[in-house]
Amino acid sequence: MTACATVLGVFNPVMVNGVGTAFDALVIHLLATLSLIISFFDIHTVLAYILYTILFTCMPRTMSTPMSKYTDHQDISLSLLKEIWGAVRGNPVEIDKISFIGQGNLPSYFAVTDFASATMGAAGLALAELTDAPRVTTDRRLASLWFNKTISPIDWKIPSEPALGPTDYKTRDGWIRLHTNAPHHLDAALRVLGVPAKRDAVIAAVSCWDALELESAMIANGACAAQMRSWDDWQRHPQGQSVLAEPLLHWRQGTQGSITHWPADREHPLKGLRVLDMTRVLAGPAATRLLAGLGANVLRVDPPWWDEPSGAPEMSLGKRCTRLDLREKQDLEHWKKLLSEADIFVHGYRSDALSALGLDAEQRQAIRPGLIDVSLDAYGFTGPWRYRRGFDSLVQMSMGIAEAGQRLSGSERPFPLPVQALDHGTGYLLATATLRALTTRKQTGLGTIVNGSLARTGALLMQTLDANLINEPVIRPIEPADWSDSLENTQWGLAKRLKWPTSIPGPRMDWTIGAGALGRHPATWDN
């Protein structure tokens, strides 16, 4: 069934790789159906793969007509949500529950507001299914705001980003982005360039390199970088081809475990569930932040050397945060004990990182039968870059988003999205998958293994590209009525937090733990 699922996942009618004629669509469905029959009779699944390869090679590799050219924004949001809902194996009937409200759009050549609405709306839809709620309403404007900063400190300040943070630099033949937020990534980049941590020195050094040559040197030396490529370049690139051949989510059945009967708390539906969180920066933490808001007991684990002082006020909300060094035997054994008691595991490490410790997905299922295992990476789970470090802004450069913005705007520099939409969107996509997996777990006791990537999420957003979107009315800035009625008691002082964009009868987002620094709690479950 694996090959069959791949075929059916790839040939979604609204995918980037979608075709534009009825004949093409007919061929797709005929071949997909034939693949399904082959898989059911277990006649070497390689035959199904051969069918897919023929189709993937022969069909046009261009985007179908952008959604925004022939639909309004309500329809764009709904079209994106339908693809997401199919990726998480949701019942299509459930989609009728959702409605979108709110006016305005984030300024972009991509339908970022519709994308935000769809991803957060999908999570709401999965929650409604889990709790038997009759309807879901997602505010497009608030969803857009949640894709940016959601907290407003009162009499304290969020730490600023590093002075030499992620920046686009001009090379001899184009542009490259260096991601240098983490000290060890900055040190690696400076070693390649042979200059001190001064922006003028970095600018001068980068200008002497070709973009691809510098990207390769950075990656080889443990730094994080991405050459600016066009969408056409990405479709021809081996990694681009691999990512576009992947389903939006890799979805596998896990092992049978005891069914967790968590307390029936209508307002806090995940109360009693334990989430082991090993994610960083934005995408994974956005997913676990949502789970924490629904009552889950989230324990975030970071290594001793990792910190996110500017990101913690956003992404530590609702979580207990601890530190363990899995390279140390004692810490590793302690972590395994935590995993054995968890219901959900979410991680954002490279595909090979945990496997190297003897902790691949199958081994994690053995440690905790019935585990819901959710992971993400930057560039996908197949292809030559499947182990490459990456972040939202780097993926935007690699796959053509920044180049499309530059070209359409006439800018001299790369023109990225107005928010880190790949991070946030992937986070809510994984939260949706987690909630859907909980429904399965509740009904059958079976675990689920789910993988997603920023690059594959980016392909979903890419199909909304439209030069006219930039001219549409922009969403209103934050207003007093947008803040929650109660203040948040963070580690640093009181703060205001934006209202949640999605409303469902019964459940409510309610974080009992205010934001705070990483590593401030013991490595134990809070019972």
pLDDT tens profile 365-389: 999 999 999 999 999 999 999 999 9
Residue 213 forms part of a structural domain: no
The amino acid that residue 157 corresponds to is K
pTM: 0.87
Residue 305 forms part of a structural domain: yes
Residue 43 forms part of a structural domain: yes
Residue 220 forms part of a structural domain: no
Residue 146 forms part of a structural domain: no
Q: Which of 413, 420, 404 is nearest to 467 (CA)?
A: 404
Mean pLDDT throughout 330-341? 97
Last residue of a domain, one of 19, 38, 64: 64
In this prediction, residue 349 carries a pLDDT of: 87
377-430 pLDDT, tens digit each: 999 999 999 999 999 999 999 999 999 999 999 999 999 999 999 999 999 999
For residue 101, name the pLDDT band (cuts at 50, 70, 90): very high
- What is the rounded CA–CA span in Å between residue 171 and residue 389? 21
The 488-490 sheet, strands edge to edge: 151-153, 493-497, 488-490
Q: Which of 15, 107, 124, 113 is nearest to 65 (CA)?
A: 15
Neighbours of 237 (CB within 10 A): 19
Last residue of a domain, one of 43, 64, 85: 64
75-97 pLDDT, tens digit each: 999 999 999 999 999 999 999 99
For residue 72, name the pLDDT band (cuts at 50, 70, 90): confident
Count of domains for the chain:
2
Mean pLDDT throughout 475-500? 97
Range of the structural domain that residue 488 is part of: 249-383+419-463+478-503
**Does the pLDDT value for residue 524 go beyond 70?**
yes
In this prediction, residue 390 carries a pLDDT of: 93
In this prediction, residue 39 carries a pLDDT of: 37
**Does the pLDDT value for residue 243 go beyond 60?**
yes
In this prediction, residue 71 carries a pLDDT of: 52
Phi, psi of 463 (to 5 degrees): -70, -5
The amino acid that residue 112 corresponds to is V
Q: In this prediction, what percent of the chain has a pLDDT beyond 90?
A: 80
Mean pLDDT throughout 172-196? 96
For residue 43, name the pLDDT band (cuts at 50, 70, 90): very low
Mean pLDDT throughout 198-206? 97
For residue 62, name the pLDDT band (cuts at 50, 70, 90): very low
Better-predicted residue by pLDDT, 72 or 20: 72
Give the tokens for residue 6: 């791949």
Residue 82 forms part of a structural domain: no
Last residue of a domain, one of 36, 64, 92: 64
Better-predicted residue by pLDDT, 55 or 155: 155
In this prediction, residue 46 carries a pLDDT of: 40
Q: Tell me which residue has tokens 């990483």.
A: 518
**Does the pLDDT value for residue 197 go beyond 70?**
yes
Q: What is the CATH number of the domain that holds 276?
A: 3.40.50.10540
Give exposure, 135-171, as e/b (b: 16+ Cβ within 10 Å): ebbbbbbbbbbbbbebbebeeeebeeeeebebebbeb
In this prediction, residue 67 carries a pLDDT of: 55
Say if CB 226 and CB 398 are below 8 A apart.
yes
Residue 363 forms part of a structural domain: yes
In this prediction, residue 21 carries a pLDDT of: 36
Mean pLDDT throughout 218-240? 97
**Does the pLDDT value for residue 99 go beyond 60?**
yes
In this prediction, residue 56 carries a pLDDT of: 37
Mean pLDDT throughout 328-345? 97
For the chain, give the mean pLDDT: 88
Residue 118 forms part of a structural domain: no
